[in-house]
A and B are shown apart, each in its own frame.
Chain A
Amino acid sequence: DIQMTQSPSTLSASVGDRVTITCRASQSISSCLAWYQQKPGKAPKLLIYDASSLESGVPSRFSGSGSGTEFTLTISSLQPDDFATYYCQQCNSYSTFGQGTKVEIK
Chain B
Amino acid sequence: EVQLVESGGGLVQPGGSLRLSCAASGITFSSYWMSWVRQAPGKGLEWVANIKQDGSEKYYVDSVKGRFTISRDNAKNSLYLQMNSLRAEDTAVYYCARDSSGYEPWGQGTLVTVSS
Task: Give min CB distance, B110 to chain A, whole Å.
Answer: 11
> Does B26 belong to the interface (CB within 8 Å)?
no
- Of B59, B102, B106, B109, most buried by chain A (CB within 10 Å of CB) is B102
With contacts A53-B101, A94-B61 taken as known, whether A43 is within 8 angstroms of B108 at the C-beta atoms is: yes
Interface string of B75-90 (1 = CB under 8 A from A): 0000000000000000
Is A44 on the interface with B (CB-CB < 8 A)? Answer: yes
- Interface centre among B61, B95, B104, by most A CB within 10 Å? B104
A89 on interface, CB distance cutoff 8 Å: yes
Q: Are A34 and B103 in contact (CB under 8 A)?
A: yes
Does B46 sit within 8 A of A, measured CB to CB? yes
Chain A interface category by residue count: 20 to 34
Q: Does B66 lie at the interface of the complex (its beta carbon under 8 Å from any beta carbon of A)?
A: no
What number of B residues sit within 8 Å (CB to CB) of A? 18
Q: Mark A5-47, 1 if CB is under 8 A from B, else 0.
A: 0000000000000000000000000000010101000011110
Chain B residues engaging chain A, CB cutoff 8 angstroms: 35, 44-47, 50, 59, 61-62, 95, 101-104, 106-109
Binding site for B on A (CB under 8 A): 1, 34, 36, 38, 43-46, 48-50, 53, 55, 87, 89, 91, 94-100
